[in-house]
A = this chain, B = another copy of it.
Amino acid sequence: MSNPTAAMLVIGDEILSGRTRDSNMNHLAKRLTDAGIDLREVRFVGDVRKTIVQAVKRLSTRHDHVFTSGGIGPTHDDITADCIAEAFDMPIDVRADAREVLEAHYAKTGSELNEARLRMARIPDGATLIDNPVSAAPGFSIGNVHVMAGVPAVFEAMVESVLPTLTGGTPLTSVSLRIERGEGDIAGPLRTLAEANPDLSFGSYPFNMNGRYGANIVIRGVDQVRVMEAREALAALFPGEAA
């Protein structure tokens, strides 16, 4: 597979303390899978400048795209934009285009564009703004890094703004087969099938619910016909137990 690869960086103390449960990772993962972009790694870090800068540098050299979530609001703990500027060694300040977006928004809502809110117009030189149809304050893309908000509704809207600008790959076909048999009994035949079909990937995810147990086997590949053939071959090995 030579699909583009991606990484995600989720920024925020509140997730690492367990206070907040992240939902942006799962959302992005699904949208990237749809687009044929392989999400290879996700990192969660706290609001710590050095850690964020280092993670952005590492991930952006290793992957075709990096998506960040969190830390671009108006409060003192929102340090993502400054960290990204540092990682790319670019100047950062309040930028006219971002300021205009905020001015128009706050004029409409009747709130004051004070110093704190103006921080949300701090954008590194050379970055392109990402539209925020929910609450105006923009995200931005610089190099291969796409910087987005942490609030799920805003994050999701920004993902929809960014995705059409990226070149995707061939979406994988994915099918699953539920087998009501101990995973330890499935493992042997499954390994043989996986070894005979190196162009496909086979994952096994055990379940144990309401007294029924077994595993969901997920088969993935770019060629839909091959994926379906492998599913049939696997089902034939467990007559009456697979569906």
Task: List residues of A whose CB falls within 8 A of some B CB.
Answer: 12-22, 25-33, 39-48, 51, 73-77, 111-112, 114-117, 119-120, 135, 151, 153, 174, 182-188, 190-191, 194-195, 201-206, 208, 215, 218, 220
Task: Check B43–A16 contact: CB distance below 8 A.
Answer: no
Q: How far is the CA of A19 from the CA of B229 in the complex (A)?
A: 21
Q: How far is the CA of A13 from the CA of B43 in the complex (A)?
A: 15
Give the residues in chain B near A215, CB-CB below 8 Å. Answer: 75
Q: A42-B44, A75-B215 are in contact. List 8 more A-B contacts (CB 8 A).
A: A16-B29, A19-B174, A41-B43, A73-B187, A75-B183, A76-B187, A114-B185, A153-B208
29 A-B pairs (CB sep. < 8 Å): A13-B201, A13-B203, A14-B205, A15-B29, A16-B41, A17-B174, A17-B220, A18-B26, A18-B33, A19-B174, A22-B26, A40-B45, A40-B48, A41-B43, A42-B43, A74-B184, A74-B187, A75-B187, A75-B191, A75-B215, A76-B190, A77-B194, A77-B202, A111-B182, A111-B184, A114-B185, A115-B188, A116-B184, A119-B187
Give the residues in chain B near A31, CB-CB below 8 Å. Answer: 18
Known contacts A41-B43, A42-B44, A218-B14: does B73 contact A206 (CB below 8 Å)?
Answer: yes
Known contacts A114-B188, A174-B19: does B183 contact A74 (CB below 8 Å)?
Answer: yes
Q: How far is the CA of A79 from the CA of B11 in the complex (A)?
A: 29
Known contacts A44-B42, A184-B116: does B14 contact A33 (CB below 8 Å)?
Answer: no
Q: How far is the CA of A232 from the CA of B191 in the complex (A)?
A: 61
Residue of B nearest to A119 (CB): B187
Task: Check B185–A111 contact: CB distance below 8 A.
Answer: yes
Q: How far is the CA of A206 from the CA of B77 in the complex (A)?
A: 13
Give the residues in chain B near A19, CB-CB below 8 Å. Answer: 174, 218
Give the residues in chain B near A111, CB-CB below 8 Å. Answer: 182, 184-185
Q: How far is the CB of A38 from chain B (nearest CB, A)?
A: 8
Q: How far is the CB of A66 from chain B (nearest CB, A)?
A: 14
Q: How far is the CB of A215 from chain B (nearest CB, A)?
A: 8
Q: How far is the CB of A230 from chain B (nearest CB, A)?
A: 14
